[in-house]
Chain A
Amino acid sequence: MHISEHRRKQLKLIEWIRLGSFIGFLGFFILILVGIDNLLLSFVLALVINYLLGPIVNSLERAGVHRLFSTVLVFSLGGIFVGFGITAIVPFLSSQFSNLQEQFPTYIGGVSRLITQLELKIQDLTGVSYQTDFGLEAESVLLGWTKSLFTDLPGIVSQLGTTLLLSPFFAFFLIKDGRLFAKNFLSIVPNHIFELTLNMYYQINDQMGQFVRARLLEALIVALAVWVGLYAINFPFAGLLSLFAGVTNLIPYVGPLFGAIPAIIIALINDSSTFTLVMLCVVYGTAQLIDIFFIIPLVVAKLVNLHPITVVVAMIVGAQLLGILGMIISIPVASVLKVTITSVYQHLVEFRA
């Protein structure tokens, strides 16, 4: 079939117009997601729920249950499970939290005392003396922080409430009609990049699903290991500390260290024995060893292999843009970018013989 040069140029122009419109639409969608309060967080959480419950809905559908019924069933059971979980865990965590709130001034005083002691030791060693009392300054700063934390808490909770209401709602439709959304999204992709985009979309989706499931399972196991250890040595705030360790474990490299810091500070302030300090190191160390030698090789090994430098840079960028949430989602976002860049490169260089 002969195609004239004029027709070829016309088709090329159409391809570019379609590509421009597609990129414009995509940019607009991202802008809305980032621009509207709570929407990005709700969407990210909805994706996480989708990746967690989607496979269960699929297996029910495989057994012959209609997708709508499977989704309703899984969400109802999930709701009951979360409801019971909340009723069981929240009073326990809130009592620990109010206990912590009461004892916070003591802990802040303890931190300030620790800094002053350290300061004196440094002065003794170096012989340099200065006027600023770092311990006192730290105390006033920490008091300011905690005051604002406890006063801002209702606001944070209400914001979280909006997110916690929106995300299951989004997740329900993502699971039930996710296929339709994907199809509608793919229908606006220009013809010349359609197969590439389709392949990339499913590759990214598959990898993200594996990533989210693996990391959450990892966080859960680490939190459980820390909780069992802290409970065994009868350490205070075991529930809150293990929850914190599980969440911070989602941050690569520095996360486990962050997770252990509050427990060590509490032990130092309470003037705990060296044995308790050693036991704390054993608890957090064992949780990390379980993570490194069992969970990572068995569960997380399949994940996108990113270079440590890429991970650190992605985390710094994430932290700058979105704080703690940015640090947690920076790695999946970096993985999406890696898959996208590799696929586009393959399409441009290797796909074409």
Chain B
Amino acid sequence: MSLMYDNLFRRDRKKRELRDILENNFIFEDLSSRELSFIETLVHVRKYRPGEFIFRQGEVGVGMFIIVNGSVDVTVESATIDSPTDEATYVTRLKHGDFFGEIALIEENGRRTANAIAHNEVTVLGFFKPDLAELVDRNPVTGIKVYKKLSQVLGRRLRETSNKITHLKKRIKRT
């Protein structure tokens, strides 16, 4: 009975999980249920094995990822992509609901500034430039809402970077 229940409702459960992730994501949180349904048709579900690269530093990025299951390690290399990854510096570990790579949605041929590597079995939702372009083409009102949220994220990132630079300059002055 339980097996049958699983088979019958697994698909719905997955759909619900996907909807929850989108609803709770900063970029899509202002969207209505109808708009979220449209976004669901655009996003790509991707699965990665432990140690597999989601993207590599230096590659041209095409979009952002939202973590559905598992965790993702972000590392930075000082050398090029072809150098051994063992020398990469660990930056942070992203978990369920976190998103990364969103700058690639706005930047023209912008390169990834870090590696994103699956720490364990990872499922992510991918939202890419062509998806955003299609959203704007077919549903411009929703497109503007997403762009507004993206600009807020970028503004926040810019402010954080400015604060860090100011902090570092102060530290340099003190020493």
Contact = CB atoms under 8 A, between A and B. Distances in A.
B77 to A, nearest CB: 10
Interface string B43-80: 01110111111111111111100000000010100001
Given A183-B44, A191-B46, A192-B53, A61 B138 contact: yes
B75 A191 contact: no
Interface in B102-158: 111, 117, 119, 126, 128-130, 133-134, 137-140
Interface in A1-50: 1-3, 7-8, 11, 14
A111 B53 CA distance: 69
A351 B111 CA distance: 8
Given A1-B75, A11-B49, A58-B138, A351 B59 contact: yes
A353 B62 CA distance: 15
A336 B44 CA distance: 24
A199 B86 contact: no
A202 B62 CA distance: 12
Most buried by B among A195, A202, A346, A350: A195
Given A202-B130, A353-B81, A8 B49 contact: no
A91 B85 CA distance: 72
A1 to B, nearest CB: 4
B138 A195 contact: no
A239 to B, nearest CB: 38
A61 B136 CA distance: 11
B62 A1 contact: no
A182 B135 CA distance: 15
Contacts of B137: 58, 62
B41 interface: yes
The binding surface of chain A is classed by DSSP as helix
Interface residues of B, number: 43
Contacts, number: 82
A180 interface: yes
Contacts of A342: none
A60 to B, nearest CB: 10
B41 A198 contact: no
Given A14-B49, A353-B81, A1 B119 contact: yes
A53 B129 CA distance: 23
Contact of A3 (B54, B60, B85): B85
A307 interface: no
A62 B62 contact: no
A194 interface: yes
Interface residues of A, number: 30
B90 interface: yes
Nearest to B63: A195
Contact of A62 (B42, B59, B117, B138): B138
B57 to A, nearest CB: 8
A166 interface: no
B51 A3 contact: yes
Interface in A193-235: 194-195, 198-199, 201-202
Given A1-B119, A192-B53, A352 B58 contact: yes
A136 to B, nearest CB: 62
A1 B92 CA distance: 10
A194 B48 CA distance: 12
B51 A7 contact: yes
A194 B46 contact: yes
A325 B8 CA distance: 48
A352 B82 contact: yes
A1 B73 contact: yes
Contacts of A7: 50-51
Contacts of B82: 352
Contacts of A62: 137-140
Contacts of A195: 55, 59, 61-63, 128
Q: Which 9 A-B pairs have the closest CB atoms?
A: A353-B58, A202-B130, A195-B62, A1-B73, A3-B51, A351-B60, A352-B81, A61-B138, A7-B51
Interface of B: 41-42, 44-46, 48-63, 73, 75, 80-82, 85-86, 88, 90, 111, 117, 119, 126, 128-130, 133-134, 137-140
17 contacts: A1-B75, A2-B86, A11-B49, A11-B51, A58-B137, A62-B139, A67-B138, A191-B46, A191-B52, A191-B54, A194-B126, A195-B55, A199-B62, A202-B130, A352-B56, A353-B58, A353-B111
